[in-house]
Amino acid sequence: MATVSSRPARPRISNASPIEIDGGRTDGPDALARESASAMGRFFEGFGFRRHLGRTWMTLYLSDEPMTQSHLQTELGLSAGMVSTLLKELVSWGAVRTRTLPASRQTWYESETDLLAYVSRILDRRDLPHVQELDRVVHRVITELEADDSRAARRLRRKLEPIRQLARLYESMASLIIRLASGPAGSIRRGIQLVRGLRVEA
């Protein structure tokens, strides 16, 4: 089994020379890794997750070795309580897994490297149920309105139909991603080719 360093593991990207980001010089790969972690934090935040969840996951993903909670505290500049909460949530989503090493009494953490599997779990457990519920309710309302030929009923049906179609489109795309994640490796490539091959008629 590989030996894990007792020092905080720092993400390593390449041996590139220092470059400038936002007008200031960086110390190379470490700074680029932190820049990427910050970007992932904003990405997570845009989808309704806490920003530090994205930073924590990305830091683990870019690290060459598993990391302990104390390593992450140092790397992220967060409190022990905050890091503990973030790790528990990431573990519950299947985005991070724990490891116990024979030479250490600490719990070590590493990221899920199958990114599509991680995204599909979020879609399946968090997003898809809400979209399906919206579709069910809007479909039921439209069906009930079909018996009413009043102007108000027709107007409401006309307004709700695009909502139903959008919910079904989202549900179809999410279901496709979930199926691709559970299929063989080639399924992802075929799925990308399928989507790129779509032609939307004007």
What CATH number should be reported for the domain holding residue 44?
1.10.10.10
Residue 5 included in any domain: no
Average pLDDT, rounded, for the chain: 81
Q: Tell me how far apart the terminal alpha carbons of the chain are, to the nearest angstrom.
A: 58
pLDDT at 25: 45
Does pLDDT of 21 surpass 50?
no
The count of structural domains within the chain is: 2
CA angle 114, 118, 119 (to 5 degrees): 120
Q: What is the pLDDT of residues 22-79, one digit of tens each?
A: 444 455 788 888 889 999 899 888 878 889 999 999 999 999 889 999 999 999 999 9
Strands (DSSP E) along the chain, which ranges? Answer: 20-21, 24-25, 67-68, 96-100, 107-111
Same domain membership, residue 102 and residue 26? yes
The domain in which residue 24 lies consists of 20-111
- Quote the pLDDT of residue 189: 72
Residues 107 and 122 in one domain: no
Last residue of a domain, one of 111, 132, 158: 111
Final residue in a domain of this structure, among 79, 111, 143: 111
Q: With cut-offs at 50, 70 and 90, classify the pLDDT of residue 1.
A: very low
Comparison of pLDDT for 198 and 176, the residue scoring more:
176
Is the per-residue pLDDT at 10 higher than 60? no
Q: Are residues 104 and 31 in the same domain?
A: yes
Boundary-marking domain end, from 111, 145, 178:
111
Residue 85 forms part of a structural domain: yes
Q: Is the pTM of this model over 0.75?
A: no
Together in a domain, 99 and 31: yes
Q: List C-alpha distances in Å: 71 to 7, 68, 80.
A: 8, 5, 10
Same domain for 45 and 94? Answer: yes
Q: Is 4 inside any structural domain?
A: no
* Interatomic CA distance for residues 180 and 22, integer angstroms: 38
Please indicate, yes or no, if residue 15 is contained in any of the structural domains.
no
- On whether both 139 and 191 belong to a single domain, the answer is yes
Residues 39 and 97 in one domain: yes
Residue 56 has a pLDDT of: 94
The model's pLDDT over 79-138, given as tens digits with 9 standing for 90+, comes to 999 999 999 999 988 889 998 888 878 899 999 887 778 788 888 888 889 899 999 999
**Does the pLDDT at position 18 exceed 50?**
no
